[in-house]
Amino acid sequence: MRVIVPIKQIRDPRGVKADPRRQQVTLEEAELVINPTDRNALEEALVLKDKLGAKVTVISIGGPEVEDSIREAWACGADEGILLSDELLAKADFRGAALALAKAIQKLGDFDLIIAGAMAADTCQGQLGPRLAAALDIPCVNDVYRILEVSGGKARVIRGWDEKFLEVEVELPAVLCIAPGANVPRLPHGARIMNSYQWEMPVWKASDLGLSEEDLRPGVEERGLSFPPERVRGRVSRGSPEDLARELVSFLRERHLI
Amino acid sequence: MDFSFSKEHQMLRRMAREFAEREVLPIAKAIDEEHRVPMDVVKKAAELGLLGVPFPQKYGGMGAGEIGYCIVAEELGKVSSSFATIIGAHIGIGAMAIYLGGNEEQKKKYLTPLARGEKIAAFALTEAGAGSDAAAIKTRAVRDGNYFILNGTKQFITNGDIADIITVMAVTDPSLGPRGGITAFIVEREYPGVRIGKLEDKMGIRGSSTAEIILEDVRVPKENILGPFGAGFIVFMQSLDMGRLTLGAACLGGAQTALRMAMEWAAMREQFGEPIAHKQSIQWMIAELATEIEALRSLVYRTAWLVDTRQPFTRYAAMCKMYGSEVASKAVNIALQIYGAMGYSRDFVVELMYRDAKIAEIYEGTNEIQRIVIAENLFRDFGVRIRP
Ligand SMILES: Cc1cc2nc3c(=O)[nH]c(=O)nc-3n(C[C@H](O)[C@H](O)[C@H](O)COP(=O)(O)OP(=O)(O)OC[C@H]3O[C@@H](n4cnc5c(N)ncnc54)[C@H](O)[C@@H]3O)c2cc1C
């Protein structure tokens, strides 16, 4: 059984500094870490490794610095890691990234599951998992909180659905997008950390994946970043519960919210 | 010159920090209040290899060297002096004595389970009449065929009650004194005649235990002699050298937390219509402390580098311990002063940090003794010998 975990390296959101007055976001001082939800995804994969002996392969796209995150995933218990890296891939948007990952996964051969984080904490788009499933033409379950069972070519999982949970069965191979906080990801073992740079990591270029500049041309153009408008201050009302309820209802009616 | 940490050590710091924040920080206040050693968290630390950081992997260790161990001590010191003390006594002096003085057999049998954290170590030197004057120990070891019979009482032994393996210093020839007359032994807790006496009710580091260990006709096989016969004093002093360095690293962690908290409070607390951070007297405290912390950081990691590159480091380890504990004490004092009444209240952790900090000036050799060690080392270069 082979499980593939695509991970993304991001700037630790806790270290990002924002200055709304100067419309400036400083990223560079923040540490480079594995996207938190991808750690949740890796944890689910490693549980399958513990329980079913799954082989866990981690793949990431980015510059040479991304190697550190792949090695950290290895230290946590992943069996191997592959870095997709060159100038073309560096410019890829979500579509391009999903395409490159799909090609790399096809190049690896057979697999049973792709377990991804539902969302990256830097862009908060949640596009990669579904796009990857589309590119590979396999089913995708989003917002997964728990993997109940993987057997007989199927997986049973619990996913969020509105305010409820839904039990879903999906045929393999499939993409599962793990919800943020679905588990507590394990920490890497110290001795594995110390050994984590002692294996050769394959680095694949766009050309190794049969992708051209045209294939990876971004469909989205970034024109600049700006801060969301300042929020208007809320209104504080006081009075008896009856008066307050009446006021609230008329307030909501005025705005056509009820 | 390169001041950067290796990639492995950077990853280790991330792991140690997350472990400290996830597992140790949430219990730091409770273990003080309940006067309880958090064995469950010690076990979790063991599962990550944190009980064998500096030891080679072939003995079950992490293989991260002294630099790695200082990183871990610093991150643990940031959240709990008690927890840093438990790990420090286990790795830094208890197991370290076996690593430094033990033969291959002893390392396999004793160091390996200690490094894996399956067993806990303690280091038993101090006695009622032998504190700073370590050579004044009275515990006796008398030969009986293939065994030594140990009798004596050790006190103030960190991890004393939780340890499975205790490194003990005993007199084997009273006529010879510290050079030749004292031998180090590995004593298993399970040996008949090993008893745990009084547990200290301490001012600080109450989440780590400090116990009396009573040895009554304990038969220790001669295979358990640590290092050359009669050279116990040297084995223990070498272990203490290492322990002092990492104690300095733990103090570096504690001092940084105190500084951060002091700054957060100074930025938030308003008096006379503005944050107290606007007051120059507060700024000066912060600026001076931050400078000393940076100086300490350089001292600690340079000393760790000396160890890892096998260069002499004794005087620097003593400096790490002395300066580190004094910077940490100053830091908690400043933090408490800036917090004012809130710092004195048990509702906050500042008073806990204040109580915890003092011990580092006392154990592993008081700071007066460190000054003697440093001066002795310095004057040796001038051909002058100082005796403590
Ligand atoms: C919480 C805790 C944990 C400990 N853990 C351990 C442990 O795990 N293993 C272990 O073996 N021991 C341990 N100790 C013992 C510790 O190492 C000793 O307490 C320490 O070495 C000092 O000895 P003392 O308390 O007898 O002080 P004393 O030696 O009586 O000293 C009293 C004062 O006199 C000063 N003084 C003494 N001699 C001189 C001198 N020559 N010149 C100038 N000043 C001097 C000292 O600096 C000190 O200020 C621990 C102690 C505590 C409190």
Q: Is residue B157 part of a domain?
A: yes
Cα separation, B256 vs A153, in Å, equals: 53
* Structure tokens belonging to residue A10: 């991001």
Which of B188, B288, B364, B368 is the catalytic position?
B364
Share of chain B above pLDDT 90, in %: 97
Cα nearest neighbour of A198 on chain B: B8
SS3 state at B375: helix
Nearest residue, CB atoms, A190 vs list B10, B22, B48: B48
> Quick one: closest CA in A to B6, which residue?
A194
Residue B64 included in any domain:
yes
Q: What's the number of domains chain B is made of?
A: 3
Q: Write down the mean pLDDT value for chain B.
A: 97
- Helices and strands in chain A: count of H runs, count of E runs: 8, 13
B1 in a domain, yes or no? no
- Whose tokens are 């991804």? That residue is A116
| % of chain B surpassing 70 pLDDT | 99
- Give yes or no: residues B114 and B134 share one domain: no
Instruction: Confirm or reject contact between A193 and chain B (CB < 8 A).
Output: yes
What would the pLDDT profile of B332-376 be if each residue is shown by its tens digit?
999 999 999 999 999 999 999 999 999 999 999 999 999 999 999
CATH of the domain at B99: 1.10.540.10
> A43 near A35, Cβ under 8 Å?
no
Is residue B388 domain-resident?
A: no
Q: By CA distance, what is A73's nearest residue in B?
A: B11
Residues of A whose CB is below 8 A from B69? none
Q: Does B12 lie at the interface with A, CB-CB under 8 angstroms?
A: yes
- Domain identity same for B264 and B322: yes
Q: Are residues B66 and B82 in the same domain?
A: yes
Q: Which amino acid residue places its CA nearest to atom 48 of ligand 1?
A: B366
Same domain, B246 and B372: yes
**Distance (Å) from the alpha carbon of B8 to chain A's nearest alpha carbon:** 5
Whether residues B101 and B175 fall in one domain: no
Q: Of the candidates B200, B230, B260, which is a domain's last residue?
A: B230
Backbone angles phi, psi at B262, to 5 degrees: -60, -40
Residue of A14, A193, A197 to mutate, interface with B, max B Cβ within 10 Å: A193
B15 to A187: CB separation less than 8 angstroms, yes or no: yes
Q: In this structure, is residue B387 part of a structural domain?
A: no
Rg (CA), chain B: 21
Question: Is the Cβ of A190 closer than 8 Å to some Cβ of chain B?
Answer: yes
> pLDDT tens across B121-175, in order?
999 999 999 999 999 999 999 999 999 999 999 999 999 999 999 999 999 999 9
CA angle B10, A205, A57 (to 5 degrees): 55
Is the confidence at residue B387, as pLDDT, over 80?
A: no
Domain of residue B104, residue span: 7-120
Q: Residue B305 is part of a domain; what is its CATH number?
A: 1.20.140.10
In which residue ranges of chain A is pLDDT below 50? none
Q: Do residues B15 and B144 both lie within one domain?
A: no
CATH number for position B146: 2.40.110.10
pLDDT at B388: 58
Q: Which atom of ligand 1 is nearest to the CA of B154?
A: 11
pLDDT of residue B386: 82
B11 touching A (Cβ < 8 Å): yes
Alpha carbon of B132 to ligand 1 centroid (Å): 5
Q: Is B122 on the interface with A (CB under 8 A)?
A: no
- Round to whole Å and give the CA distance between A174 and A144: 12
Q: Please report the pLDDT score of residue B106 as a whole number.
A: 98
Give the helix/strand (H/E) hosting B82: helix B81-87
Which of the listed residues B120, B139, B173 is the one where a domain comes to its end? Answer: B120
Helices H / strands E in chain B, number of each: 14, 10
Q: Are residues B195 and B135 in the same domain?
A: yes
Q: Evaluate: CB of B132 within 6 angstroms of ligand 1.
A: yes
Contact: A71, B49; criterion CB under 8 Å: no
CB atoms within 10 A of CB B129: 9
Put simply, the answer to whether A68 touches B12 (Cβ < 8 Å) is no
* Catalytic residue status for B364: yes
B197: burial class by Cβ within 10 Å (0-12, 13-18, 19+)? middle
Question: Which of B10, B11, B63 minimises the CB distance to A191?
Answer: B63
Q: Partners of B194 in the beta sheet?
A: B215
Q: Which of B181, B212, B230 is the last residue of a domain?
A: B230
CATH number of A2-209, picked from 3.40.50.720, 3.40.630.30, 3.40.50.620, 3.40.50.1700: 3.40.50.620
Closest CA relative to residue B387, chosen from B177, B246, B241 = B177
> Is B2 inside any structural domain?
no
Q: In this structure, are B186 and B60 located in the same domain?
A: no
Pairing of strands B225-226, B210-221: unpaired
